[in-house]
Homo-oligomer: A and B are copies of this chain.
């Protein structure tokens, strides 16, 4: 590794990593990385993400560090982008060495965020859904949908999907994309129909407003709700009455209180941190009839795990490039001298081109 370059993982590099690894296998490996990092939760610097809200959406920075590596992600959320032919969510991020502060990896994270969100949801469901859960309702069939479905199949064996979206084209596309992954898929005419017989209900809609995707009468005993879509102030998906009947599990409470479904509840409403369930300090599901709800908003440690995974898996050189991103003069104090030497070099090049 040279000092002045940063390994760059483009969108194409990321796609090639996913294709060559196989998405099911990658989601399993990625969830292991996330689980490892959740097991050492206390070793991380943790803050709520830093949000800049505007009329159309939000731009956020999500940093964290374990004292050895530092990661941050830039991510936006703009529900109206779809109308303009743009993605709702795009992201990129970087991994650095804490001891020197030098960045060593810069990566696309639009695809990686979809992967880590799905891997985290499935990881949570392994601790929270009923044993033997095979049927999942998916309400909201946007960009997250296929990733969630495949993660739940790979990690839990879910193979029966019930899809619903207010946009039938989204459902049709999701159905088509998932054909070869071995699911039985039912496309449904309503959210009510979708949840019939479901062990797990995943909500992943994108409207930036308080909506009621799930109302109280739709939720029977024993269900696990994987609430993915609500992730900023004023944006929720699940009716408050359902929250009051559920045992609620979260990533980082200070952030989830602001952004998650639980923004509808009192600030001291009891919730359980997922990492405490994973480390067996608190119970996950304790009985068949219990309603569990994972109030997923996405936390920086998941991005840290994802970048760490990508770094470890970037074996072959054709899955990355080197970016000339860090000014690193031969003599560290002589940053200005770099400019002088470049000027001399350019003059020489210009002189020889005139000869």
> Which A residues fall within an 8 A CB radius of B?
3-4, 8, 10-12, 14-16, 18-19, 23, 45, 47, 50, 52, 54-59, 61, 63, 65, 67, 70, 72, 74, 76-78, 81-82, 84-88, 90, 92, 94, 96, 98-103, 108, 110-111, 114, 141-143, 145-147, 170, 173-174, 177, 323-329, 331-340, 342-343, 346
Q: Of all chain B residues, which has the CB nearest A68?
A: B54
CB <8 Å contact, B323 and A10: yes
CB <8 Å contact, A324 and B100: no
- Complex: A165 Cα to B31 Cα, angstroms: 52
- Chain A binding surface, main DSSP class: mixed
- Total copies of this chain within the assembly: 2
Known: A52-B45, A61-B61, A99-B56. A328 touches B143 (CB 8 A): no
Known: A47-B50, A67-B54. A10 touches B325 (CB 8 A): yes
Known: A103-B74, A333-B142. A324 touches B12 (CB 8 A): yes
Q: With both chains docked as a complex, state the minimum distance between the C-beta of A168 and any C-beta of chain B, in angstroms.
A: 12
Known: A59-B70, A87-B327. A16 touches B78 (CB 8 A): no
- Complex: A90 Cα to B5 Cα, angstroms: 12
CB <8 Å contact, A327 and B90: yes
- Find chain B residues with CB under 8 A from A329 CB: 87
**Residue from the list B4, B65, B103, B108 in contact with A326, Cβ < 8 A:** B108
- Find chain B residues with CB under 8 A from A10 CB: 323-325
- Complex: A101 Cα to B86 Cα, angstroms: 10
CB <8 Å contact, B146 and A336: yes
Additional A-B contact list (12), CB under 8 Å, known A55-B99, A81-B101, A114-B336: A10-B324, A11-B325, A12-B342, A52-B65, A56-B101, A59-B70, A76-B101, A77-B101, A82-B332, A86-B100, A87-B327, A177-B334
Q: Of all chain B residues, which has the CB nearest A142?
A: B333
- Find chain B residues with CB under 8 A from A111 CB: 327, 335, 338-339
CB <8 Å contact, A59 and B336: no
- Find chain B residues with CB under 8 A from A325 CB: 10-11, 92, 108
CB <8 Å contact, B74 and A102: no
Q: Of all chain B residues, which has the CB nearest A343?
A: B19
Known: A76-B96, A102-B86, A343-B19. A333 touches B170 (CB 8 A): yes
- Find chain B residues with CB under 8 A from A23 CB: 339
- Complex: A87 Cα to B4 Cα, angstroms: 10
- Find chain B residues with CB under 8 A from A94 CB: 74
Q: With both chains docked as a complex, state the minimum distance between the C-beta of A107 and any C-beta of chain B, in angstroms.
A: 9
**Residue from the list B74, B101, B110, B342 in contact with A90, Cβ < 8 A:** B101
CB <8 Å contact, B81 and A100: yes
CB <8 Å contact, A84 and B100: yes
**Residue from the list B18, B50, B54 in contact with A61, Cβ < 8 A:** B50
Q: With both chains docked as a complex, state the minimum distance between the C-beta of A338 and any C-beta of chain B, in angstroms.
A: 7
- Find chain B residues with CB under 8 A from A170 CB: 333
CB <8 Å contact, A96 and B61: no
- Find chain B residues with CB under 8 A from A108 CB: 324-327
